[in-house]
């Protein structure tokens, strides 16, 4: 159902131009449809800040529940920002104090770039943990993406992530390990997911702490897991929100970093992403970059236009299905008129076992 453009955030206009259904506030008021309010804690670096808004907004807007979705982007201290990105945040993002006062039905926490060897040493760690602690007490379900998964799993379950020998980067085949869990209902038993990370939390460590692993890959490890109660915390290690061009844009940035001397070696291709024609074109581009770097010339223009027709999205449908299931279960719980099938035998007044002294906040 539609997203409601309840602010002037430019992402709403961008999505409308792309064909997404976006409803203005006046029209929304005339519809007798329940509202759901979903927070997006956007911690992504400047280059991906607005793209991350669009990616997660699209997945929420694709949900088939009969609901009006109000998205509430916000961020935290401890993340370096350019003047332009900070101006965007100041103009369109909500303060966390307002988020707490108004309440949310669900929360999405994005990934982030890191600069320290251990996550608790990052400047954003304490502000992030403040949000996580509040959400555990006041939000029905929180969905964590990539770095956020690593941070929340370490904070809640004491599992520190492990550095990988090389960057795990590309599109990988995955398989369901639990076909009965509501989050993966109506999804394919095998599907692709993009990954882009240097670190991993392993399946054995998750299961040792009682987390339920739902989707894994032989090559890229766990993609989807949930907290022991089955729903309160949802963990992605992959990036199902990515657009078909996301890994191409990241590859372009990595090439630029190599050209500037920030990387010692020319970046490899993301696995299982560029087809033979695209790889051939990029191999020629690599030689031009090497020549330009050696001769102190400007970096050649990246051949985006040539690559576009050779990029495929093989993960979007499964991503939509999981998000639809996630938002549908939040709808059921916050309506308090249905109970999740995997929670039989629990207290109907508090089906998730939340430590809440008053009802969940309603808009």
Active site residue ranges: 146, 239, 241
Residue length of the chain: 363
Q: Are the CB atoms for 35 and 92 separated by under 8 Å?
A: no
* 351 neighbors 339 (Cβ within 8 angstroms): yes
In the structure encoding, which two tokens stand for residue 3, read together?
């997203």
What whole-number distance in Å separates Cα of residue 43 and Cα of residue 111? 6
Which of 256, 261, 226, 177 has the alpha carbon at shortest distance from 340?
A: 226
Print burial letters for 244-274: b (CB count within 10 Å at least 16), e (below 16): bebbbbbbbebbeebbeeeeeeebebbbebb
Strand-by-strand arrangement of the 233-236 sheet: 22-23, 3-4, 68-74, 35-41, 106-109, 141-145, 233-236, 221-226, 212-217, 162-176, 190-200
Residue 208, C-beta contacts closer than 8 angstroms, at least 6 positions apart: none
Which one, of 313, 269, 272, 328, lies nearest residue 55 by Cα? 313
What Å distances lie between residue 297 and 253, 259, 289, 291, 355, CA to CA?
A: 18, 10, 9, 8, 61
**Rounded Cα distance, 155 and 246, in Å:** 29
Contacts of 11 (CB under 8 A, 6+ apart): 50, 53, 54, 57
**Is residue 352 a contact partner of residue 343, using CB atoms and an 8 Å limit?**
yes
> Which residues, listed in sequence order, are joined to residue 224 by a DSSP beta bridge?
215, 236
Q: Of 211, 189, 219, nearest to 321 (Cα)? A: 189
């Amino acid at each position: 159902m539609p997203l409601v453009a309840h602010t002037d955030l430019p992402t709403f206009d961008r999505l409308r131009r792309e064909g997404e259904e976006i409803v203005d506030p006046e029209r929304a008021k005339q519809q007798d449809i329940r509202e759901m309010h979903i927070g997006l804690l956007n911690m992504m670096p400047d280059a991906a800040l607005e793209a991350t808004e669009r990616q997660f907004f699209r997945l929420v807007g694709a949900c088939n529940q009969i609901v009006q979705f109000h998205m509430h982007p916000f961020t935290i201290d401890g993340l370096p920002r350019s003047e332009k990105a900070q101006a965007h945040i100041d103009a369109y993002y909500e303060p966390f104090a307002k988020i707490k006062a108004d309440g949310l039905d669900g929360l999405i926490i994005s990934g982030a770039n890191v600069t320290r060897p251990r996550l608790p040493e990052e400047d954003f760690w304490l502000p992030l943990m403040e949000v996580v602690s509040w959400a555990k007490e006041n939000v029905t379900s929180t969905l964590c993406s990539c770095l956020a998964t690593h941070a929340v799993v370490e904070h809640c379950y004491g599992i520190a992530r492990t550095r990988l020998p090389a960057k795990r980067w590309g599109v990988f085949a995955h398989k369901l390990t639990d076909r009965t869990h509501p989050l993966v209902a109506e999804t394919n038993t095998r599907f692709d997911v993009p990954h882009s990370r240097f670190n991993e939390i392993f399946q054995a460590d998750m299961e040792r702490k009682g987390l339920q692993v739902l989707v894994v890959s032989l090559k890229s490890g766990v993609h989807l897991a949930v907290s022991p109660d089955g729903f309160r915390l949802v963990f992605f290690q992959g990036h199902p929100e990515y657009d078909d061009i996301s890994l191409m844009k990241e590859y372009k940035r990595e090439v630029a970093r190599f050209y500037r001397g920030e990387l010692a070696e020319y970046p490899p291709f993301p696995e299982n992403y560029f087809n033979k024609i695209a790889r051939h074109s990029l191999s020629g581009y690599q030689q031009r970059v090497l020549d330009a770097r050696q001769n102190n010339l400007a970096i050649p223009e990246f051949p985006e236009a040539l690559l576009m027709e050779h990029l495929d999205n093989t993960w979007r449908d499964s991503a939509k299905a999981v998000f639809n299931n996630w938002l549908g279960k939040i709808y059921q719980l916050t309506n308090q008129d249905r109970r999740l099938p995997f929670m039989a035998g629990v207290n109907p007044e508090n089906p998730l076992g939340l430590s809440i002294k008053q009802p969940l906040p309603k808009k």
